[in-house]
Amino acid sequence: MSTRALKEAEGPFNPHVPGIEYGVLDTLVGYGVRRAQLAMYSVFVDALAKWNITPQRFSALVIISLNEGLTLTKLAEVLGIVRSGSVVLVDALVEMGYIDRVEVPGDRRAYGLALTRKGQKDLAKITQAVLDQEARATARLNAARRKQLLEMLDLLAQPPQD
Protein backbone atom coordinates (compact mmCIF):
# COMPACT_ATOMS: atom_id res chain seq x y z
CA MET A 1 0.00 0.00 0.00
CA SER A 2 2.03 2.94 1.26
CA THR A 3 5.78 3.35 0.98
CA ARG A 4 7.02 2.07 4.30
CA ALA A 5 9.57 -0.67 4.16
CA LEU A 6 10.45 0.02 7.79
CA LYS A 7 8.34 -0.62 10.85
CA GLU A 8 7.61 -4.08 12.22
CA ALA A 9 4.01 -2.96 12.83
CA GLU A 10 2.76 -5.95 14.85
CA GLY A 11 -0.93 -5.30 14.65
CA PRO A 12 -2.94 -6.44 17.67
CA PHE A 13 -1.83 -10.13 17.80
CA ASN A 14 -3.87 -12.72 16.02
CA PRO A 15 -4.68 -15.65 18.33
CA HIS A 16 -5.35 -17.92 15.34
CA VAL A 17 -3.32 -17.30 12.22
CA PRO A 18 -5.16 -18.83 9.23
CA GLY A 19 -3.57 -22.00 7.88
CA ILE A 20 -1.63 -22.70 11.06
CA GLU A 21 -2.20 -25.86 13.09
CA TYR A 22 -2.15 -25.24 16.85
CA GLY A 23 -2.75 -28.82 17.95
CA VAL A 24 -2.69 -29.40 21.68
CA LEU A 25 -2.25 -25.70 22.39
CA ASP A 26 -5.92 -25.07 21.68
CA THR A 27 -6.89 -27.50 24.43
CA LEU A 28 -4.70 -25.98 27.14
CA VAL A 29 -6.19 -23.57 29.65
CA GLY A 30 -2.65 -22.36 30.33
CA TYR A 31 -2.22 -21.32 26.70
CA GLY A 32 -5.66 -19.73 26.62
CA VAL A 33 -4.89 -17.68 29.72
CA ARG A 34 -1.61 -16.57 28.19
CA ARG A 35 -3.25 -15.48 24.94
CA ALA A 36 -6.03 -13.65 26.76
CA GLN A 37 -3.52 -11.94 29.01
CA LEU A 38 -1.34 -10.77 26.10
CA ALA A 39 -4.35 -9.40 24.26
CA MET A 40 -5.84 -7.66 27.28
CA TYR A 41 -2.53 -6.25 28.46
CA SER A 42 -1.79 -4.39 25.26
CA VAL A 43 -5.33 -3.03 24.99
CA PHE A 44 -5.12 -1.87 28.61
CA VAL A 45 -1.80 -0.11 28.12
CA ASP A 46 -3.05 1.60 24.96
CA ALA A 47 -6.24 2.75 26.64
CA LEU A 48 -4.34 4.10 29.65
CA ALA A 49 -1.35 5.50 27.73
CA LYS A 50 -2.65 9.00 28.36
CA TRP A 51 -1.79 8.58 32.06
CA ASN A 52 1.22 6.30 31.54
CA ILE A 53 -0.53 3.68 33.65
CA THR A 54 0.21 -0.04 33.40
CA PRO A 55 -1.90 -2.77 35.01
CA GLN A 56 0.64 -3.05 37.82
CA ARG A 57 0.65 0.69 38.50
CA PHE A 58 -3.14 0.71 38.54
CA SER A 59 -3.21 -2.21 40.96
CA ALA A 60 -0.74 -0.45 43.22
CA LEU A 61 -2.76 2.78 43.26
CA VAL A 62 -5.99 0.95 44.10
CA ILE A 63 -4.35 -1.08 46.86
CA ILE A 64 -2.71 2.01 48.35
CA SER A 65 -5.95 3.98 48.22
CA LEU A 66 -7.88 1.29 50.08
CA ASN A 67 -5.27 0.27 52.64
CA GLU A 68 -4.14 3.31 54.53
CA GLY A 69 -0.50 3.50 55.50
CA LEU A 70 0.57 0.41 53.56
CA THR A 71 4.34 -0.09 53.76
CA LEU A 72 6.57 -0.86 50.79
CA THR A 73 7.24 -4.35 52.12
CA LYS A 74 3.52 -5.08 52.36
CA LEU A 75 2.89 -3.64 48.90
CA ALA A 76 5.56 -5.96 47.51
CA GLU A 77 3.89 -8.93 49.18
CA VAL A 78 0.46 -8.04 47.84
CA LEU A 79 1.73 -7.56 44.28
CA GLY A 80 3.91 -10.65 44.39
CA ILE A 81 7.20 -8.86 43.77
CA VAL A 82 10.33 -8.39 45.89
CA ARG A 83 10.92 -5.32 48.05
CA SER A 84 13.47 -3.75 45.71
CA GLY A 85 10.83 -3.94 43.00
CA SER A 86 8.33 -2.04 45.09
CA VAL A 87 10.89 0.71 45.59
CA VAL A 88 11.18 1.17 41.82
CA LEU A 89 7.40 1.10 41.44
CA VAL A 90 6.82 3.55 44.29
CA ASP A 91 9.55 5.88 42.99
CA ALA A 92 7.74 6.04 39.65
CA LEU A 93 4.35 6.76 41.23
CA VAL A 94 5.90 9.42 43.48
CA GLU A 95 7.55 11.09 40.50
CA MET A 96 4.20 11.08 38.70
CA GLY A 97 2.79 12.94 41.69
CA TYR A 98 0.26 10.25 42.57
CA ILE A 99 1.53 9.08 45.97
CA ASP A 100 3.70 10.17 48.89
CA ARG A 101 5.87 8.40 51.42
CA VAL A 102 4.51 9.35 54.85
CA GLU A 103 6.46 8.86 58.08
CA VAL A 104 5.08 6.18 60.37
CA PRO A 105 4.74 7.36 64.02
CA GLY A 106 5.77 4.14 65.75
CA ASP A 107 8.54 2.98 63.39
CA ARG A 108 11.23 5.26 62.03
CA ARG A 109 12.39 2.67 59.49
CA ALA A 110 9.12 2.39 57.61
CA TYR A 111 7.01 4.61 55.38
CA GLY A 112 3.26 4.47 54.96
CA LEU A 113 2.09 5.08 51.43
CA ALA A 114 -0.72 7.50 50.68
CA LEU A 115 -2.34 9.04 47.62
CA THR A 116 -1.69 12.72 47.02
CA ARG A 117 -4.55 15.09 46.26
CA LYS A 118 -3.73 14.72 42.58
CA GLY A 119 -3.52 10.96 43.03
CA GLN A 120 -7.03 10.86 44.44
CA LYS A 121 -8.46 12.98 41.64
CA ASP A 122 -6.66 11.18 38.84
CA LEU A 123 -7.34 7.70 40.23
CA ALA A 124 -11.06 8.39 39.90
CA LYS A 125 -10.67 9.20 36.22
CA ILE A 126 -8.21 6.36 35.67
CA THR A 127 -10.57 3.89 37.31
CA GLN A 128 -13.37 5.03 35.03
CA ALA A 129 -11.11 4.53 32.00
CA VAL A 130 -10.19 1.07 33.27
CA LEU A 131 -13.86 0.17 33.70
CA ASP A 132 -14.62 1.41 30.18
CA GLN A 133 -11.76 -0.64 28.80
CA GLU A 134 -12.87 -3.68 30.79
CA ALA A 135 -16.38 -3.35 29.39
CA ARG A 136 -15.05 -3.23 25.85
CA ALA A 137 -12.69 -6.17 26.39
CA THR A 138 -15.44 -8.34 27.85
CA ALA A 139 -18.24 -7.11 25.58
CA ARG A 140 -18.71 -10.61 24.14
CA LEU A 141 -19.67 -11.99 27.58
CA ASN A 142 -22.95 -11.38 29.35
CA ALA A 143 -23.06 -10.68 33.08
CA ALA A 144 -23.65 -14.31 34.04
CA ARG A 145 -20.74 -15.66 32.03
CA ARG A 146 -18.54 -12.84 33.23
CA LYS A 147 -19.25 -13.88 36.79
CA GLN A 148 -18.52 -17.54 36.03
CA LEU A 149 -15.26 -16.49 34.40
CA LEU A 150 -14.16 -14.49 37.43
CA GLU A 151 -14.86 -17.47 39.68
CA MET A 152 -12.88 -19.85 37.51
CA LEU A 153 -9.95 -17.46 37.15
CA ASP A 154 -9.89 -17.18 40.92
CA LEU A 155 -9.62 -20.96 41.19
CA LEU A 156 -6.75 -21.00 38.70
CA ALA A 157 -4.86 -18.40 40.72
CA GLN A 158 -4.80 -20.68 43.76
CA PRO A 159 -1.66 -22.80 44.05
CA PRO A 160 -2.15 -26.49 43.09
CA GLN A 161 -3.65 -28.48 45.95
CA ASP A 162 -1.16 -31.38 45.84
- CA separation for the pair 158, 97 (Å, rounded): 35
**Which option in its own copies, DNA, none does residue 121 bind, with CB closer than 5 to 8 A by kind?**
none
64 scored as a contact of DNA (CB under 7 A):
no
Whether 111 and 68 have beta carbons less than 8 Å apart is answered as: no
Q: Of residues 48, 61, 64, 90, which one binds DNA by CB under 7 A?
A: 90
Rg (CA), the chain: 20
CB nearer to DNA: pick between 70 and 123: 70
Q: Which of 14, 66, 108, 139 binds DNA (CB under 7 A)?
A: 108
The window from 19-27, 101-109, 133-141, 143-151 that contacts DNA (CB under 7 A) reads: 101-109
Contacted entry of DNA, its own copies, none for residue 6, CB cut-off 5 to 8 Å set by kind:
DNA
- What's the CA gap between 64 and 112, in Å, rounded? 9
Residue 72 in contact with residue 113, Cβ under 8 Å?
yes
The count of residues interacting with DNA (CB under 7 A) is 30
CA angle 27, 134, 86 (to 5 degrees): 90
